[in-house]
Chains A and B, each alone.
Chain A
Amino acid sequence: GAVVSQHPSRVICKSGTSVKIECRSLDFQATTMFWYRQFPKKSLMLMATSNEGSKATYEQGVEKDKFLINHASLTLSTLTVTSAHPEDSSFYICSARDTTPSSPLHFGNGTRLTVT
C-alpha cells in the first residue's frame, strides 16, 4: 500500500527558532500534498495544499509567511514553521495522494511540535 513518511515525529524548539518538517511519499508520486494541524481532541484542520513546482495554496487564516511550504519534487514536501512561538505548538500532519482518479489520501504519522 501507499506509504507517506513524515519526519520528525517529535520536536521541541525554543521560541524564535524555525522548525522544518518533511513529508515524503515513498512508493508513489504525489503532485499534491496537504498539510493539516490538529489541536487536542479536535479534528484535522487543513492548513494548505502543496503543489509540486508551484506555490502552495493556503487556507483562510493561515499565515503563509509563518508556515512556509516547499514542494520541490514529486515525492517531497516540507513545512517550515518560522519564528516559532508557544501558540504554534500542535500536531502537524501531512497527506498525499497519487494521480489516479478517486485515489484516497495517505497520511504521515504526524509531528508533535512543542515550542518552549
Chain B
Amino acid sequence: DAKTTQPPSMDCAEGRAANLPCNHSTISGNEYVYWYRQIHSQGPQYIIHGLKNNETNEMASLIITEDRKSSTLILPHATLRDTAVYYCIVRVGNNAGKSTFGDGTTLTVKP
C-alpha cells in the first residue's frame, strides 16, 4: 500500500471549514484514498473514501487532485467534537486487508 504524508497537527476555529491535506505521491491506479478519525480512547471512525472523483457525504467532502497524488478532507463547519486524529490511508480496493496507519493529523477545533 502507498505511503501517505500528513501534517502532524492543525488548528481550526469552530464554525470554520477544516481542510486536512494528505500527500500520496506514489499511489497506484487501483488504490483508493480512505479517511478515518480517532477521538481519544475510542476506535477509529470511517469518514469517507474515493478513487479519483471528488466525494461528499454527511460528514465531509473529499477532494482528490487530478493526478491523484494528493487529497484534502474538508469538514465544512468544524465543531469542538471534530477534535481528533485524522488518518489518510491508501489501499487497493479489493485488497483483503492491511490498512497501514501513519501518524495522522491531530486536528484541534478551538472555540
Interface residues of A (CB under 8 A from B): 4, 6, 31-32, 34, 36, 43-46, 49, 51, 91, 93, 95, 101-102, 104-110, 112
Of A31, A45, A109, most B-chain CB atoms within 10 Å: A109
Residues of B within 8 A of A45 (CB): 101
- Tell me what chain B mostly uses at the interface: helix, strand, loop, or mixed: loop
Q: For the complex, what is the distance from the CA of A43 to the CA of B87, rounded to whole Å?
A: 9
Q: How far is the CB of B53 from chain A (nearest CB, A)?
A: 13
Given A43-B103, A43-B104, A101-B93, the answer on whether A106 and B46 have CB atoms closer than 8 Å is yes
Beyond contacts A95-B43, A104-B46: 15 other A-B pairs, Cβ-Cβ < 8 A, are A6-B43, A32-B97, A46-B99, A91-B41, A95-B99, A102-B51, A102-B94, A104-B34, A104-B49, A107-B43, A107-B44, A107-B45, A107-B46, A110-B41, A112-B41
21 CB contacts below 8 A, A to B, read: A32-B97, A34-B98, A36-B101, A43-B102, A43-B103, A43-B104, A44-B101, A46-B100, A49-B96, A51-B96, A93-B44, A101-B93, A101-B94, A102-B32, A102-B94, A104-B49, A105-B34, A105-B99, A107-B44, A110-B43, A112-B41
* B contact residues, total (Cβ < 8 Å): 24
Residues of A within 8 A of B99 (CB): 34, 46, 95, 105
Given A91-B41, A102-B32, A102-B51, the answer on whether A46 and B98 have CB atoms closer than 8 Å is yes
- Tell me what chain A mostly uses at the interface: helix, strand, loop, or mixed: strand
